[in-house]
Structure 1
């Protein structure tokens, strides 16, 4: 069975300010610009962690400044291709 994270409740999510190329993160894709931003390190650093739950997240995209509400099902795991707060992969 794959490791997993279950989110419940309502959260104010802040983006991580610096991503390390090649590392895995849990984050969101902006509803406006599509840029991926991390809200936490992916604990296994492999991308295999399953995300579930019924949580809601309020987050501001560090790329375009769009503030939006996201659901747990909107959360993604991704590997950063570059440093900074936005990833291109």
Structure 2
């Protein structure tokens, strides 16, 4: 944090943030928010918000389903894709059982 940098003397730190409008139509507004931290190397964090303009609500993954059974179904599909990619490309490797 800033106090550590002050006590240690010189340092190089950069933080940048912003947003990108992904969709803006009559029904939906979808925005990608990002933060880039730079200290020797950099990392970028992306978060997305999608708003239903008719209902004026934030759309979340759980709000699209009646119950939480989607979690297992989506997880299994992702694992299947990871296994297929492991087999198809020797330069890709995921630690996944199956």
TM-score, scaled relative to structure 2:
0.21
Higher relative contact order (CA 8 A, sep 6+): 1
User: By percentage of residues, which structure has more helix?
Assistant: 2
TM-score, scaled relative to structure 1:
0.22
User: By percentage of residues, which structure has more strand?
Assistant: 1
